[in-house]
Amino acid sequence: MSQVFTPAESATIPNIVKKQELERANALFLFTGFGSVLLGYGLAGPVIQLFGGLEKYGDQSTFIIAAILTAIGFVLSSTLTLDSNGHRGFDPQLFSRTNKLTREVLHITRENIKILIPIIMLTLMQFCIGLMAILFIDFVKTYLRLPSTSTSYFLIIPLGFGLSIGVYLLNKLKEKVSKGYMIYLGALAFGLAMLFIGLGGYVTNSAGGIFFLRVITASGAVVAGISAVFIAVHSRTILQKNTPEKMLGRVFALVYASGSAVTPIPILLIALITEKVDVAIVFLVFGLIFALLAQAAKPVFLKNLS
């Protein structure tokens, strides 16, 4: 369902706020949307433990609670007043029109680098967040020596804290630093955060180093949250400012479709890799690759995303 209404919400923002307020509006949009997802993930671990853990009925309790909340949301949404959209039933030209509209949005994306780069960055960010979430499950058990439900405390909660810091820094730096440089900083910091988490896990083997590794892990998740704000908010703002109004909905639909397309990749990729490679090495390698790509792309960011 989010693939239907979330692109529409993103495309509507430029029509209801002033251009100079787009960063703040996008920051609020990201903070509430992504923050609610993180809240759900963050509460999952404690809720599972509260209802008996994975050994009993803890995992089933999360689905029951989610079903209740979804039902409440459905009831609340039914109270909204909807404008008539002139629906005329099934359009016999639906598929040809859809094909035409899709070709148009792909064409404008290829032709305009200020649209292409933000879409790539938003897609990469979703891929990397998914990658971290999958890696953390094994990392928490193997290196932090904690149950997998503790992922909430070392990834989700620090990520949410990082989001808050990122929104604060965004408001402080938006007049002083270009959008392209902020996206570069976010990408570089994200890669370095993954690298240092992996490096910490690889070199910390003694029992006395567990606490230090836990601090590094939580700090890396905070940095990842800050980076997500820098990348996502500025990428969205650049898209909104450089996309023709009639194309906004389709461009953001492409953003979310691309994100959905890459979401299963970390699950499949990690399942294959971690059978043969240690999870800390995977963190280290992916972090190094992402940091090097960010450094290599720095001139492109500064030139095209000012």
CATH number at residue 214: 1.20.1250.20
Query: What is the number of structural domains in the chain?
Result: 1
Token pair for 285: 């390698």
Residues with Cβ within 8 Å of residue 249, at least 6 apart in sequence: 7, 8, 11
Note whether residue 82 is domain-resident.
Answer: no
Note whether residue 86 is domain-resident.
Answer: no
| The pLDDT of residue 1 | 54
Note whether residue 55 is domain-resident.
Answer: no
| The pLDDT of residue 95 | 78
| The pLDDT of residue 202 | 77
Note whether residue 212 is domain-resident.
Answer: yes
| The pLDDT of residue 208 | 59
Note whether residue 70 is domain-resident.
Answer: no
pTM: 0.82
**Residue 104 CB coordination number (10 Å):** 13
| The pLDDT of residue 21 | 84
**Residue 202 CB coordination number (10 Å):** 15
* Size of the chain in residues: 306
Note whether residue 101 is domain-resident.
Answer: no
| The pLDDT of residue 136 | 84
Q: Provide the residue type at 160 as one letter.
A: G
| The pLDDT of residue 91 | 64
- The residue to which tokens 């990842």 are assigned: 224
Domain range spanning residue 248? 2-38+113-304
CB 130 within 8 A of CB 228: no
**Residue 259 CB coordination number (10 Å):** 20
CB 220 within 8 A of CB 197: yes
| The pLDDT of residue 188 | 95
Rg (CA), the chain: 21
Note whether residue 99 is domain-resident.
Answer: no
CA distance 164 to 161: 5
Note whether residue 63 is domain-resident.
Answer: no
> For each of the chain's 306 residues, which pLDDT tens digit applies?
555 667 777 888 888 888 888 888 888 888 787 777 777 777 777 777 777 776 676 778 888 888 898 889 888 877 766 655 555 555 667 678 778 888 888 888 888 899 999 999 999 988 888 888 888 888 888 888 887 767 777 887 888 889 889 988 988 887 788 889 999 999 999 999 999 998 888 777 655 578 888 888 899 999 999 999 999 999 999 998 888 888 888 888 888 888 888 888 877 777 777 778 888 888 999 999 999 999 999 999 988 886
